[in-house]
Amino acid sequence: MPYFTLKDGVTLFYKDWGNATGQPVFFSHGWPLNSDNFELQMNFLGNHGYRVIAHDRRGHGRSDQPWNGNDVDTWASDISELFEHLKLTDATLVGHSTGGGDLTRFAAKSKAHSGYGSHGSKSSWVKKLVLISAIVPQLLQADWNPSGVPLETMNQQRALMLKDRSQFFYDVPEGPFFGFNRPNATVSKGLIQSWYNEGMQASFKSAFDTIASWETDFRHDLQSLDIPVLVIHGDADQIVPFGVGNQTTKFLKDGRLKVYKGGPHALPNIEVDGINNDLLSFLKET
């Protein structure tokens, strides 16, 4: 698999699968995971002729583990450099959870840039955006965002990481992330172990610092977008409350909401066929 070194010396791991000349789809993963968490969507779209790309965010997975730069603006800049390196154009972005935040910031900033079309012609970097269980418009609770997560809860998560990250990183997938704590839930030990393995690959510093990104207000970023945006959220999400995602479209010029009844936070893992087909249908729209 390829690696790319950023201007600040940090090396990112990324996957570039599928049809090398196909329409590009770029994925950004949630916390504290890596690009492996989108493998079923990448395999599905790759088999449908798309070029599918995903990176391990700095500090996560197989990428370098720098002390600094674990913030939304740096992540968006990292994606910009990777887009330049791969000469991507007219890409559809797909972000889950925290990945929906960095892709929203990247899409907003990319309006000032251009990519490389065929024969060297200039073209836009971003064509469409998909936000799945994303932390936009803001995960942190506020007067305008009463459904958000209180700061006290985020501080509790920081404390649990400092006390025993290993145990915390079992408690999250065993409970709210996949919705396995709900009555009559079908529990997958494999998904729990996979989440734990990916989470423990991330550096402690990067995983800890990422919690601060959940306080980011993305309303201005969303309002600046003039591309089609598909917002997908489960109404039983215990990580990013449905009341947060449900209001995203009101900040968009061209947004629509797809609700998964009873859907947990981990829709790409739990609702694989539904998410795959949602993505394919959105990609096929002109």
Got the DSSP string for 207-225? HHHHHHHTT---HHHHHH-
Helix/strand number for the chain, H first, E second: 10, 10
Q: Check if the beta carbon of residue 89 is closer than 8 Å to that of residue 231.
A: no
Q: Check if the beta carbon of residue 130 is closer than 8 Å to that of residue 230.
A: yes
Q: Which residue out of 78, 102, 221, 237 is catalytically annotated?
A: 237
Whether residue 265 lies in the annotated active site? yes
Whether residue 237 lies in the annotated active site? yes
Task: Specify the DSSP element, H or E, that contains 190.
Answer: helix 189-201
Q: Which residue out of 28, 97, 133, 206 is catalytically annotated?
A: 97
| Residues contacting 126, CB < 8 A, separation 6+ | 90, 91, 92, 93, 106, 107, 110, 227
SS3 of residue 259 by DSSP: strand
Q: Which residue out of 60, 221, 265, 278 is catalytically annotated?
A: 265
Whether residue 147 lies in the annotated active site? no
Catalytic residues: 97, 237, 265
